[in-house]
């Protein structure tokens, strides 16, 4: 029977395989250093997951009797390598490439607010995204300084490019919200931007209607 692993367990197996021999503390630090908030790196999540993988025979642990803290050094087993390979070769799902996005969901509902309130609703998101972009830049620099694995650098580069694209998109959202707050037309720009994006990706625009005349919202 195949050893099914969760997304967290797959990540842990990969980290141990690349950094072995290593301790659970070392693996936890990898999570803490990452700018991604997907996992907090909390001891309450990482350590039990590593223990489960060890109990299942996917990781092997050797206690260092000479270390005062009796650290346990982790290595991936042959069974663990097979589980990791199976997990990485499994078909990618739609959720893997486009998961639920709370920020997009927030933007989707902005039309329910008065025009004068939309910029305010976006302000905190803009600040948080600026911080995330800075973290992604710093993380990529750190990885480039220490990593010999090109895929670790590519993963960090992907995070930076995703954050930068998100920043550009939020700038567009903010610009439209500001235009509407000033009782200026924003829909025509949105329509043209959407057409431009489809053109860049080689999609036909047949059947797409012209931009409607926008009704300005009362404040």
Tell me, what DSSP letter sits at residue 183?
Answer: T
**pTM (global) more than 0.85:** no
Is 38 inside any structural domain?
A: yes
Same domain, 29 and 76: yes
Same domain, 119 and 82: no
Q: What per-residue confidence (pLDDT) applies to 179?
A: 87
Is 26 inside any structural domain?
A: yes
Same domain, 104 and 165: yes
Is 153 inside any structural domain?
A: yes
Same domain, 82 and 11: yes
Same domain, 89 and 113: no
Distance CA 188, CA 207 (A): 17
Same domain, 104 and 195: yes
Q: What per-residue confidence (pLDDT) applies to 217?
A: 44
Conformation bin of residue 36: beta by default, left when phi > 0, alpha when psi is -120 to 50: beta
Same domain, 104 and 35: no
Same domain, 40 and 66: yes
User: Is the preceding omega at residue 4 within 30 degrees of 0, hence cis?
Assistant: no
- pLDDT tens digit string along 155-197? 999 999 999 999 999 999 999 999 888 877 677 778 788 888 8
Same domain, 165 and 196: yes
Distance CA 45, CA 28 (A): 9
CATH of the domain at 89: 1.10.10.10
Positive/negative CA dihedral, 69, 75, 77, 82: positive
Select from 82, 63, 84 the least CA-distant residue to 74: 63
Query: What is the pLDDT tens value at each position of the chain, 219 positions in all?
Result: 467 899 899 999 999 999 999 999 999 999 988 888 776 667 788 999 999 999 999 999 998 767 656 678 999 999 999 999 999 999 988 888 877 788 999 999 999 999 889 998 898 888 999 999 999 999 999 999 886 789 999 999 999 999 999 999 999 999 999 988 887 767 777 878 888 888 887 765 555 455 444 544 444
Conformation bin of residue 62: beta by default, left when phi > 0, alpha when psi is -120 to 50: beta
Which residue range(s) make up the domain with 141?
100-200
Same domain, 91 and 167: no
Is 1 inside any structural domain?
A: no
Q: What per-residue confidence (pLDDT) applies to 161?
A: 95
Q: How many domains does the chain have?
A: 2
């Amino acid at each position: 029977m195949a050893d099914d692993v969760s997304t967290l367990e797959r990540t842990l197996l990969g980290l141990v395989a690349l950094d072995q021999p290593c301790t659970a503390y070392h693996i936890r630090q990898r999570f803490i250093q990452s700018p991604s908030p997907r996992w907090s790196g909390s001891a309450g999540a990482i350590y039990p997951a590593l223990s489960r993988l060890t109990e299942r025979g996917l990781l092997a642990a050797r206690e260092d009797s000479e270390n005062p803290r009796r650290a346990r050094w982790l290595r991936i087993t042959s069974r663990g390598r097979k589980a990791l390979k199976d997990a990485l070769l499994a078909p990618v799902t739609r959720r893997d490439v486009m998961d639920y996005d709370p920020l997009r969901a927030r933007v989707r509902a902005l039309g329910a607010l008065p025009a004068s309130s939309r910029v305010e609703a976006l302000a905190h998101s803009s600040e948080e995204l600026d911080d995330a972009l800075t973290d992604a830049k710093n993380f990529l620099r750190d990885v480039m300084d220490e990593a010999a694995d090109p895929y670790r650098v590519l993963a960090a580069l992907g995070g930076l490019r995703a954050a930068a694209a998100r920043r550009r998109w939020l700038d567009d959202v903010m610009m439209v919200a500001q235009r509407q707050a000033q009782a200026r037309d924003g829909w025509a720009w949105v329509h043209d931007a959407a057409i431009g994006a489809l053109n860049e990706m080689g999609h036909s625009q047949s059947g797409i209607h012209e931009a409607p005349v926008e009704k300005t919202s009362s404040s």
